[in-house]
Amino acid sequence: MRTQVAIVGGGPAGLLLSHLLHLQGIDSVVLERRSQEHVQQRVRAGVLEQGTVDLLREVGVGERMLREGDRHEGVHVQFDEERLHIPFTELTGRAITVYGQQEVVKDLNERRRADGGQVLFEVDDVAVHDVTSDNPSVTFTHDGVAQVLHADFVAGCDGFHGVCRDTIPPDVRRVYERVYPFGWLGILAEVAPSTDELIYANNERGFALHSMRSATISRFYLQCAPDEPLDNWPDQRIWDELGTRLAAPGWKLQEGPIIERSVTAMRSFVAEPLRHGRLFLAGDSAHIVPPTGAKGLNLAVADVDRLAEALADHYRTGSDAGLDEYSAKCLERVWRVQHFSWWMTSMTHRFEGPDHDFDRRLQRSQFDYLRSSTAAATTLAENYVGMPLR
């Protein structure tokens, strides 16, 4: 097999990159180890920055998102029972859209299929070779047949547990990591949202977040131990804890059947550089952010948007300037987002230890500053809605 760009990973990053390249007349093949059904059913991030929304609309895969997505022009930040509204659109002129990552994947898969794109699901034994040569390749097994895919470039969009990042030699790659001492218990419930905007709540008992997926499905998160057994959280305990941590005067939490629950560890991770020879990393294969800032999917979109433009420039003009600066430019955004996600996490979560009371007073001060300062509120809003893609 031969293509111009071999893309390892058929999640949102890989599929969007393939679509963007197609619009530039560049061939690609996407290799995904999971089934199409699995990829389209994974419940992941649901907050899309303004830049992500604009890009998906501009490249022809945003019709259903605009029709079914839930546009939000602000967010609620809460300390104990005091709730503060941060008006995104008023402060920045931009907004966010709540639309599940799995829905983005469905839209991209349908578009790639309609355009005749090559997306191979359920591939095994993927390995990347010769990325520092002019003829890199990817070997894999599909339908029991061993194959070799030759390409001009390889894009590693295969997530944190993929194979592409480890292709970069340890003496070339540097890793930065922070593991937080807590996790998130994520809950999906068949109940209408009890709020007009997302609520980030800092309570003495720990962090809570009220989000939503649709007019009838709500998404909740509770700070918990990173290795918390799910058996410790029967339905009524979940609702009682959410009711306590999200409590505010005159507000009531609606309860309903819980249809999904899981525990996610909290971590920050960056692998530098994002390029080695003709291999380019994008999305979770290169970086992980705590979900507090809702940036994971949006960072992946920014990566592949920049990579697609750099590859298009290479094929169109012969210039490699965009490819040469890809890693450095992406990392500028990655570290800005890492800082914002750390800041949001530090402001909203309970930290145990001898400094707990001191930390809590700092969090209280930050909340008061957001309430009293338009500049402080604008900083939060500007980072949350996202910087322009370019």
Catalytic residue among 180, 221, 326, 384: 384
Catalytic residue among 136, 193, 290, 291: 291
Token reading at 175: 């890793």
Known catalytic membership, residue 384: yes
Catalytic residue among 295, 314, 326, 349: 295
Known catalytic membership, residue 106: no
Phi-psi region of 2 (alpha: psi -120 to 50; beta: other; left: phi over 0): beta
* Contact present, 140 and 150 (Cβ < 8 Å): no
Cα-based angle 18, 19, 23 (whole degrees, multiple of 5) = 115
Residues counted in the chain = 390
Known catalytic membership, residue 142: no
* Contact present, 376 and 369 (Cβ < 8 Å): yes
Token reading at 256: 């309903």
- Host H or E run for residue 266: strand 258-272
Catalytic residue among 99, 180, 200, 221: 200
* Residue that has been written with the tokens 């131990």 in this structure: 225
Known catalytic membership, residue 252: no
- Host H or E run for residue 264: strand 258-272
Known catalytic membership, residue 291: yes
CA distances from 291 to 52, 126, 294, 384 (A): 17, 29, 5, 12
Q: Which of 387, 175, 178 is nearest to 286 (CA)?
A: 175
Catalytic residue among 19, 22, 72, 314: 72
DSSP-assigned states of every residue in 18-76: HHHHHHTT--EEEE-SS-HHHHHH-----EE-HHHHHHHHHTT--HHHHHH-EEES-EE
Catalytic residues: 72, 200, 291, 295, 384
